[in-house]
Amino acid sequence: MEWLSHYWWVIVLVLLLGIFLNVIKDLKRIDPKKYMANKPDLPPHRDFNHKWDDEDDFPKKKP
């Protein structure tokens, strides 16, 4: 087990390499043109930001 204390970084590099290769493999499966063609619509906002600007806070110009 002494080798483990000296070469722990090799195990970490192998794990990171495996994760990196899996990410690349999954990203190759994505077809951006197909996604853009079938992109879901965004849901409406539920925070009522559009109602905040109903009243005019600026003073009116006097003619």
Ramachandran region of residue 41, left (φ > 0), alpha (ψ -120 to 50) or beta? beta
pLDDT (0 to 100) of residue 4: 82
pLDDT (0 to 100) of residue 48: 63
pLDDT (0 to 100) of residue 27: 93
Per-residue pLDDT of the chain (63 residues; tens, 9 = 90+): 888 889 999 999 999 999 999 999 999 999 989 988 988 787 666 666 656 655 666 667 766
pLDDT (0 to 100) of residue 63: 63
Instruction: Write the CB contacts of 62 (distance below 8 Å, at least 6 apart in sequence).
Output: none
Q: Is the sign of the CA dihedral 22, 23, 26, 27 positive or negative?
A: negative
pTM of the predicted model, to two decimals?
Answer: 0.52
The number of angstroms, rounded, from the C-alpha of 23 to the middle of its chain's C-alpha atoms is 15
